[in-house]
Amino acid sequence: MTASYDIIVIGAGLGGLGAAFEASRAGRRVLLLEQHNLPGGFATSFVRGRFEFEPSLHELPDVNSIEEAAGTIRYLVDDAGLDIDFVSIPEAYRVILTENGTNVRMPFGLSQCADLIEKEVPGSRESVTAYLDLCAEVQAAFRALSGGEGPPDYRKIFKEHGNFLRTGSYTAEEVADALNLPAKARDLLYPYWCYLGVPMNRVSFTIWASLLNAYLSAGAVIPKLRSHEISAAFVRGIEDHGGEIRLNTRVEHVLVEDGRIQGVETSLGERITCEALISNASPTLMFNFLIHPSSAIPAAAKKMVNARRHGFSLVVVYLGLDADRHALGLEDYSYFIAPHMDTEKLYQGIYSLESDEIMQASVCLNAANPTCSPNGTTILALTAGYRSEAWEDVRAEDYFRVKTRAADRLIRQFEQATGTDIRSHIEEIEIATPQTFARYTGAYDGIVYGYEPEPWYSVVPRALSMKKETFVRGLYFCGGFSYRCHGYGSSILSGKDAGETAVRDLESGVTT
Amino acid sequence: MKITVRNSLVDMAAFLLHLRTRNGRFRRASSASRETGRINELSSRIHPPVQSFKITSRTEESPTTATFRMTPVEPNGKVAVFRAGQYISVEADIDGICISRPFSIASPPDDSYRENYYDLTVRTKDDGFLAPWVMKNWAVGSIVQTSDPQGYFHYESLRDLDTLVCLAGGSGVTPFRSMIPDLLRNEPDVSIVLLYGVTSPNEVLFREDWPQMVSKYPQRFRFIPVCSEPADDWSGETGFLSVDLIGRYVSTPQGASFFICGPSAMHAFLDSELAKLNLKPRQVRRENFGDGERKRSFPGSLQISVQIEGSDTVLEIPADSAETVLVALERAGLNPPALCRSGECGWCRSRLVDGAVYVPENSDGRRAADLKFGYFHPCSSWPQSNLAIRIPRNPKKY
Nearest CA in chain A to B368: A225
Shared domain for B265 and B330, answered yes or no, is no
Domain boundary among B111, B146, B181: B146
* Torsion angle (degrees, nearest 10) of CA A417, A422, A424, A427: -160
Predicted pLDDT at A458: 85
Tell me whether residue A461 is in a domain.
yes
Tell me whether residue A435 is in a domain.
yes
Identify all chain A residues contacting B380, using CB atoms and an 8 Å cutoff.
none
DSSP code string of A124-173: -HHHHHHHHHHHHHHHHHHHHHHH-SS---HHHHHHH-HHHHHHTTSBHH
B31 and A388 in contact by Cβ < 8 A? no
Identify all chain A residues contacting B116, using CB atoms and an 8 Å cutoff.
none
Whole-model pTM above 0.90? yes
Tell me whether residue A408 is in a domain.
yes
How does residue B20 score in pLDDT terms, banded at 50, 70 and 90?
A: confident
Tell me whether residue A255 is in a domain.
yes
Q: Where does residue A94 fall: left (phi above 0), alpha (psi -120 to 50 degrees), or beta otherwise?
A: beta
How does residue B102 score in pLDDT terms, banded at 50, 70 and 90?
A: very high
Shared domain for A321 and A379, answered yes or no, is yes
- Helix, strand and coil content of chain B, in percent to the nearest 5, comes to 30, 30, 40
Q: In what order do the strands lie in the sheet with A60-61?
A: A60-61, A220-223, A86-88
Tell me whether residue A183 is in a domain.
yes
| Residues in contact with A75: Cβ distance below 8 Å, sequence separation at least 6, in sequence order | A492, A493, A496
Tell me whether residue B87 is in a domain.
yes
Predicted pLDDT at B393: 95
B39 and A445 in contact by Cβ < 8 A? yes
B368 and A45 in contact by Cβ < 8 A? yes
- What sign for the dihedral angle of Cα A208, A210, A211, A214? positive
- Between vectors from CA A97 to CA A95 and to CA A100, what angle results, nearest 5°? 135
Is pLDDT above 90 for A464? no
CB atoms within 10 A of CB B353: 13
How does residue B277 score in pLDDT terms, banded at 50, 70 and 90?
A: very high
Shared domain for A190 and A298, answered yes or no, is no
Is pLDDT above 50 for A116? yes
Q: Which CATH number does the domain housing residue A244 bear?
A: 3.50.50.60
Interface mutation target, options B10, B21, B23, B26, chain A, most CBs of A under 10 Å? B26
How does residue A69 score in pLDDT terms, banded at 50, 70 and 90?
A: very low
Q: Which CATH number does the domain housing residue B136 bear?
A: 2.40.30.10
Predicted pLDDT at A80: 95
Shared domain for A158 and A273, answered yes or no, is no
**Tens-digit pLDDT profile for residues A260-271:** 999 999 999 999
DSSP code string of B182-228: HHHHH-TT-EEEEEEEESSGGG-TTTTHHHHHHHHSTTTEEEEEEES
Shared domain for B96 and B50, answered yes or no, is yes
Tell me whether residue B126 is in a domain.
yes
| Residues in contact with B126: Cβ distance below 8 Å, sequence separation at least 6, in sequence order | B170, B171, B263, B289, B290
A399 and B28 in contact by Cβ < 8 A? no
Q: How many CB pairs under 8 A join A and B?
A: 236
Average pLDDT for chain B? 93
Shared domain for B205 and B276, answered yes or no, is yes
Predicted pLDDT at A65: 47
| Residues in contact with A79: Cβ distance below 8 Å, sequence separation at least 6, in sequence order | none
* Average pLDDT rounded to a whole number, residues A18-43: 98
How does residue B125 score in pLDDT terms, banded at 50, 70 and 90?
A: confident
In this structure, the strands spanning A378-386 and A360-364 are antiparallel
- Which residue among B22, B29, B159 places its CB closest to the CB of A461? B22
Is pLDDT above 90 for A235? yes
* 3-state DSSP assignment of residue A194: helix
A304 and B15 in contact by Cβ < 8 A? no
Shared domain for A332 and A429, answered yes or no, is yes
* Average pLDDT rounded to a whole number, residues A237-263: 97
- Which residue among B1, B369, B395 places its CB closest to the CB of A225? B369
Phi, psi (5° rounding) for residue B320?
Answer: -140, 135
- Rounded to whole angstroms, the Cα distance separating A317 from A48 reads 13
Shared domain for B195 and B267, answered yes or no, is yes
Is pLDDT above 60 for A160? yes
Q: Which CATH number does the domain housing residue B252 bear?
A: 3.40.50.80
Evaluate whether B5 touches B11 at the Cβ level (below 8 Å): yes
Is pLDDT above 90 for A161? no
In this structure, the strands spanning B314-319 and B302-308 are antiparallel
Q: What is the DSSP letter of B347?
A: T
Residue of A351 and B232 predicted with greater confidence: A351
Shared domain for A151 and A236, answered yes or no, is no
Identify all chain A residues contacting B39, using CB atoms and an 8 Å cutoff.
313, 388, 391-392, 434-435, 438, 445-446
Domain boundary among A219, A238, A255: A219
Give A461 to chain B, closest Cα distance, Å: 6
**Tens-digit pLDDT profile for residues B325-376:** 999 999 999 989 999 999 999 999 999 999 999 999 888 999 999 999 999 9
Lowest mean per-residue pLDDT among A484-488, B122-126, B276-280: B122-126
| Residues in contact with B75: Cβ distance below 8 Å, sequence separation at least 6, in sequence order | none
Is pLDDT above 60 for A1? no
Tell me whether residue B34 is in a domain.
no
* Average pLDDT rounded to a whole number, residues A170-199: 97
Shared domain for A272 and A318, answered yes or no, is no
B31 and A303 in contact by Cβ < 8 A? yes
Shared domain for A263 and A318, answered yes or no, is no
Tell me whether residue B10 is in a domain.
no
Is pLDDT above 70 for B295? no
Predicted pLDDT at B398: 41
- Rounded to whole angstroms, the Cα distance separating A475 from A471 reads 8
Shared domain for A249 and A335, answered yes or no, is no
Which domain covers residue A420, as residue numbers?
312-441
Residues in chain A: 512
Shared domain for B200 and B257, answered yes or no, is yes
Interface mutation target, options A1, A50, A166, chain B, most CBs of B under 10 Å? A166
The DSSP bridge partners found for residue A427 are none
**Tens-digit pLDDT profile for residues A296-306:** 999 999 999 99
| Residues in contact with B345: Cβ distance below 8 Å, sequence separation at least 6, in sequence order | B150, B151, B339, B365
Average pLDDT for chain A? 94
Element (H, E) at A228: helix A228-240
How does residue A149 score in pLDDT terms, banded at 50, 70 and 90?
A: low
- Rounded to whole angstroms, the Cα distance separating A384 from A337 reads 10
- Which residue among A299, A307, A429 places its CB closest to the CB of B25? A307
Q: For the purposes of burial, counting CB atoms within 10 Å of the CB of A132, is it exposed (0-12), middle (13-18) or buried (19 or more)?
A: buried
- Rounded to whole angstroms, the Cα distance separating A292 from A11 reads 18
Nearest CA in chain B to A372: B368
Shared domain for B226 and B110, answered yes or no, is no
Shared domain for B260 and B167, answered yes or no, is yes
Is pLDDT above 50 for A66? no
Q: Which CATH number does the domain housing residue B350 bear?
A: 3.10.20.30
- Which residue among A47, A302, A446 places its CB closest to the CB of B32? A302
How many structural domains are present in chain B?
3
- Between vectors from CA A109 to CA A76 and to CA A486, what angle results, nearest 5°? 45
* Average pLDDT rounded to a whole number, residues A250-276: 97
Shared domain for B365 and B308, answered yes or no, is yes
Where in A247-295 does DSSP place strands (E)? Answer: 251-257, 260-266, 271-279, 291-292
SS (H, E, C) B80-148: CCCCCCCEEEEEEEECCEEEEEEEEECCCHHHHHHHCCEEEEEEHHHCCCHHHHHHHHCCCCCEEEECC
Shared domain for A317 and A295, answered yes or no, is no
Q: What amino acid occupies position A371?
A: T
Q: For the purposes of burial, counting CB atoms within 10 Å of the CB of B44, is it exposed (0-12), middle (13-18) or buried (19 or more)?
A: middle
* Average pLDDT rounded to a whole number, residues B50-70: 94
Shared domain for A325 and A377, answered yes or no, is yes
Shared domain for B202 and B316, answered yes or no, is no
CB atoms within 10 A of CB B52: 14
In this structure, the strands spanning B163-169 and B143-146 are unpaired
Give A426 to chain B, closest Cα distance, Å: 6
Query: Is A418 part of the contact surface with chain B (CB cutoff 8 Å)?
Result: no
**Tens-digit pLDDT profile for residues B208-264:** 999 999 999 999 999 999 999 998 889 999 999 999 999 999 999 999 999 999 988
Query: Is A47 part of the contact surface with chain B (CB cutoff 8 Å)?
Result: yes
B34 and A305 in contact by Cβ < 8 A? yes
Which domain covers residue B276, as residue numbers?
163-288
Query: Is A180 part of the contact surface with chain B (CB cutoff 8 Å)?
Result: no
Q: Cα–Cα distances in Å, from B93 out to A167, A499, B58, B98, B100?
A: 65, 42, 20, 4, 9
- Which residue among B158, B344, B370 places its CB closest to the CB of A404? B158
* Average pLDDT rounded to a whole number, residues A340-369: 96
* Average pLDDT rounded to a whole number, residues B115-131: 87
Tell me whether residue B338 is in a domain.
yes
Report the percentage of chain A scoring pLDDT > 70: 96
* Average pLDDT rounded to a whole number, residues A116-126: 97
Evaluate whether B27 touches A182 at the Cβ level (below 8 Å): no
How many structural domains are present in chain A?
3
Predicted pLDDT at B97: 84
Shared domain for B255 and B185, answered yes or no, is yes
Query: Is A49 part of the contact surface with chain B (CB cutoff 8 Å)?
Result: yes
How does residue B147 score in pLDDT terms, banded at 50, 70 and 90?
A: very high
How does residue B289 score in pLDDT terms, banded at 50, 70 and 90?
A: low
**Tens-digit pLDDT profile for residues A209-223:** 999 999 999 889 999
Identify all chain B residues contacting A130, using CB atoms and an 8 Å cutoff.
1, 3
* Peptide bond between residue B48 and the one before it cis (omega within 30 degrees of 0): no
* Torsion angle (degrees, nearest 10) of CA A20, A26, A31, A33: 0
Identify which of A289, A297, A280, A285 has the alpha carbon closest to the alpha carbon of residue A23: A280
* Average pLDDT rounded to a whole number, residues B37-55: 96
Evaluate whether A502 touches A16 at the Cβ level (below 8 Å): no
Evaluate whether B389 touches B302 at the Cβ level (below 8 Å): no
Is pLDDT above 70 for A2? no
Is pLDDT above 70 for A39? yes
A37 and B337 in contact by Cβ < 8 A? yes
Nearest CA in chain A to B48: A439
Shared domain for B231 and B326, answered yes or no, is no
Shared domain for A248 and A323, answered yes or no, is no
Predicted pLDDT at A467: 79
CB atoms within 10 A of CB A314: 25
- Rounded to whole angstroms, the Cα distance separating A119 from A107 reads 13
Q: What is the DSSP letter of A310?
A: B
Tell me whether residue A383 is in a domain.
yes
How does residue B124 score in pLDDT terms, banded at 50, 70 and 90?
A: confident
Residues in chain B: 398
A178 and B18 in contact by Cβ < 8 A? no
Shared domain for B270 and B170, answered yes or no, is yes
Report the percentage of chain B scoring pLDDT > 70: 97
Tell me whether residue A98 is in a domain.
no
Tell me whether residue B9 is in a domain.
no
How does residue B96 score in pLDDT terms, banded at 50, 70 and 90?
A: confident
Tell me whether residue A473 is in a domain.
yes
Give B144 to chain A, closest Cα distance, Å: 21
Residues 365-384 of A with CB under 8 A from B: none
- Rounded to whole angstroms, the Cα distance separating A99 from B11 reads 36
A226 and B368 in contact by Cβ < 8 A? yes
Domain boundary among A165, A199, A219: A219
